[in-house]
A and B are shown apart, each in its own frame.
Chain A
């Protein structure tokens, strides 16, 4: 999941993340903010009309383009369209802070009233967004905000996943699939990344506190996704009787699937995070995957756009808004795809379900 690369850079954030784990059970924002459900951001018909009358414009300044960003982007586009706000520019920084800085300067030539953006890196982000902040542009951020920026004054809000909920739902899906008992393997992301760390720990916490008959008997950290097959092989050699394996996200989970296949193992179940076409295909064909937990990426875009638009007419948004996530299984894969990415499931999956 390429979004992690962004956050991989955001190590400043991880300092807060480490503190955040003290408060088990909830997701916290990059600066320790309490989460508020994204659904709390609403606009009345009057307010919508007022926004429409303002003839506002917006620019979308992305860190990079991926399926995730596309879904967020589509969500923001749809919301802005509904509010009569014209999108005047869209940029892609390819994870390069300097390029994101240029992009912000460039889009300012079109004098947007709103910028929705995912900062490449919080440390450098202040220099990146300062020209926009000084020009009075309403800033709504995804996932993190520039170091030193003050909520309500410098930016409208941060919108993100409910990371704890995602990990927790992965645990619930695993429990449902195994009848609430069994031996588990746990492959976590062995790096200081705010997003993955919160999700991984939420899985473990939920298993340990909620399901007494389920045990994590084997665990392995994965730093490089490309090496996840070797890690899974090692795990399976030591514990050939695992009932289920949690994998920190879908891409390395495919390598775990390859390891299972190589070992002729058809009984061990895999639960992973994020939607991924090959993984979902294995799932609907009755393979090893039993659930994929996905965030509502599309809804992240909608919420950020709506909060930013609301701020134009003086509505305050909470500092840290989180969207829901859902466990996608064979049964709800078509609907789940739509909810998460607001996109029809890929042809291959529709075909396989027939």
Chain B
């Protein structure tokens, strides 16, 4: 079609920009591949390439990946959600307590409702009270970290329901671990919603130019509310996965995840200030974070050195992906 269209003449300038745009999309994949090859060579005798180790990476990153999906939507809409770590803890604890009292269905429902409600609180404050999401979720992060601590008086709650731990943690279906199913399912649904629905398009438009979205008939407040609620529910799902895997819920669950999730999402090509992002990129970013943790431990580095090297690699990855993105 465009071949016969004289008005669609590409200028040289636009062509080069297009080429650049394509390259930048692949930075995360190239980075992932480079790190993978590096570890595969350096750690060839240290068990890095064993199926067991590689599947560990995927299983360990499942909750971070699930949270990352929510954050891609939130960042794309021009907002941020710092409270996801606290939602993980509150949901896991609420789920564990409800399950021990009233069974598995109640447990799952309680866990997911906790995330939904916290997301609702965040969303209403951001979308309708018009407070900045950074401050709202900074506050709810602290607030619900406190709730998680007081909920069970700092106690860990054991999760003994084997249906639950199988469903969310250590079980398998058709020989494939349940955490892999959760990851694949969430990524597929997240990707389709993000790239192929009107909602996804409206999220991007809102984060890109909320005035343009608004005059185009998109309800910007509703988009903001929805993405924060999605983020809440996905973080609570991550909390249930943690509880299933650990067979216990604890207030420290998710506490250290926020920075990992943000790094995974940004490295995966989602802009911090909205309008652009990638669900698949976030998956690769999350796996990259998990692989880094894993590989640096297997290299036998001291804990301090691991932190330094990880920080430098994330810095390099972010520098490359962001530099390519800005003109």
What is A's interface to B at a CB cutoff of 8 Å? 8-9, 11-12, 62, 65, 87-92, 94-99, 101-103, 105-107, 109-111, 120-121, 123-124, 126-128
Question: Assuming the A-B contacts A11-B153, A89-B297, A123-B156, are A95 and B255 also in contact, with contact meaning beta carbons closer than 8 angstroms in the complex?
Answer: yes
Q: Which residues of A contact B154 (CB under 8 A)?
A: 8-9, 11
Q: Which residues, 128 to 176 on B, are CB-close (under 8 Å) to A?
A: 153-158
Contacts of B50 in A (CB 8 A): 109
A103-B47 CB under 8 A given contacts A62-B303, A109-B53, A127-B246: no
Residues in B whose Cβ lies below 8 Å from that of A123: 155-158, 248, 250
Contact B156–A105 (Cβ < 8 Å): no
A106 in complex: contacting residue of B63, B247, B298, CB < 8 Å: B298
Contact A96 B253 (CB under 8 A): yes
Distance in Å: Cβ of A69 to nearest Cβ of chain B:
9
B-side contacts of A124, CB under 8 Å: 156, 246-248, 250
User: Which chain B residues lie closer than 8 Å to A88 at the CB level?
Assistant: 46, 300
Q: Tell me if B100 counts as interface (CB < 8 A to partner A).
A: no
**Does B301 contact A90, Cβ atoms closer than 8 Å?**
yes
Contact indicator B303/A91 (Cβ below 8 Å): yes
Q: Kindly supply a per-residue 1/0 record for chain B positions 295-315, scoring 1 wherever the CB is within 8 Å of any chain A CB and 0 otherwise.
A: 001101111101100000000
Partner of B246, one of A12, A87, A98, A103: A98
Q: With contacts A9-B154, A123-B158 known, is A90 near B300, CB below 8 A? A: yes
Q: Given the known inter-chain contacts A62-B303, A106-B298, please indicate yes or no for A9 contacting B246, CB distance below 8 A.
A: no
Q: Are A97 and B250 in contact (CB under 8 A)?
A: yes
Which 10 pairs, one residue from A and one from B, show the smallest C-beta to C-beta distance?
Answer: A109-B47, A123-B156, A92-B303, A109-B53, A124-B248, A102-B60, A127-B247, A105-B56, A94-B256, A98-B242
Across the interface, A121 reaches (CB within 8 A) one of B250, B298, B306, namely: B250
List the A residue with the shortest CB-CB distance to B56: A105
A122 to B, closest residue via Cβ: B156
Asked if A106 and B53 sit within 8 Å, CB to CB, the answer is yes
Q: Is the CB of A99 within 8 A of B256?
A: yes
Point out the residues of chain B lying under 8 angstroms from A110, CB to CB. Answer: 46-47, 298, 300
Nearest B residue to A124 by beta-carbon distance? Answer: B248
26 CB-based A-B contacts, threshold 8 Å: A9-B156, A11-B153, A65-B304, A90-B300, A92-B307, A96-B252, A96-B255, A97-B156, A97-B250, A97-B253, A98-B245, A101-B246, A102-B60, A103-B297, A106-B56, A106-B297, A107-B297, A109-B47, A109-B53, A109-B298, A110-B47, A123-B156, A124-B250, A126-B247, A127-B246, A127-B248
A103 proximity list for chain B (CB < 8 A): 297
CA distance A111 to B52 in the complex (A): 12
The answer to the question of B25 belonging to the interface, with a C-beta cut-off of 8 Å to chain A, is: no
Interfacial chain B residues near A105, Cβ < 8 Å:
56, 60
- The answer to whether A97 touches B246 (Cβ under 8 A) is yes
Interface string of B275-304 (1 = CB under 8 A from A): 000000000000000000110011011111
Shortest beta-carbon distance from B175 to chain A in Å = 19
Q: Does B32 make an interface contact (CB < 8 A)?
A: no
Complex Cα–Cα for A7 and B248 (A): 17
Query: Is B48 part of the contact surface with A, judged by Cβ < 8 Å?
Result: yes
Indicate whether A96 sits within 8 Å of B256 (C-beta atoms), given known contacts A89-B298, A106-B53, A124-B247: yes
Which residues of B are found within 8 Å of A97, using beta-carbon distances? 156, 246, 248, 250, 252-253
> In the bound complex, how far is the Cα of B303 from the Cα of A101, in angstroms?
16
* B contact residues around A95 at 8 Å (CB): 252, 255
Least distance between A90 CB and chain B CB atoms (Å): 5
A15–B133 Cα distance when bound, in Å, is 42
Report the minimal beta-carbon distance from A320 to chain B, rounded to whole angstroms.
Answer: 22
Q: Point out the residues of chain A lying under 8 angstroms from B48, CB to CB.
A: 109
Complex interface: chain A residues within 8 A of B246 (CB): 97-98, 101, 124, 127-128
**A residues near B46, Cβ cutoff 8 Å:** 88, 109-110
Most buried by B among A12, A87, A123: A123
CB distance from B50 to the nearest CB of A (A): 6
Residues on A with beta carbons closer than 8 Å to the beta carbon of B156: 9, 12, 97, 121, 123-124
In the complex, chain B residues 95-109 whose Cβ is within 8 Å of any chain A Cβ: none
**When chains A and B are docked, how far (Å) is the Cα of A8 from the Cα of B154?**
8
Which B-chain residue is minimally distant from A91 (CB atoms)?
B297
B53 and chain A: residue at smallest CB distance: A109
Q: Which residues of A contact B294 (CB under 8 A)?
A: 106, 109
A128 to B252, CA, bound (A): 15
Give, as a whole number of angstroms, the nearest-CB distance from A123 to chain B: 4
Contact A102 to B250, CB < 8 A, known contacts A88-B300, A89-B298, A90-B302: no
Determine the distance from Cα of A163 to Cα of B69 in the docked complex, in whole angstroms. 47
By a CB distance below 8 angstroms, the chain A residues around B297 are 89-91, 103, 106-107
The residue from B252, B300, B302 contacting A120, defined by CB atoms under 8 A apart: B252
Assembly CA distance A121 to B302 (angstroms): 23
How far apart sit A109 and B44, CA to CA, in the bound complex (Å)? 11
Chain B residue nearest to A98 in the complex (CB)? B242
Most B-side CB within 10 Å, residue of A87, A99, A123, A124: A124
Q: Are A102 and B293 in contact (CB under 8 A)?
A: yes
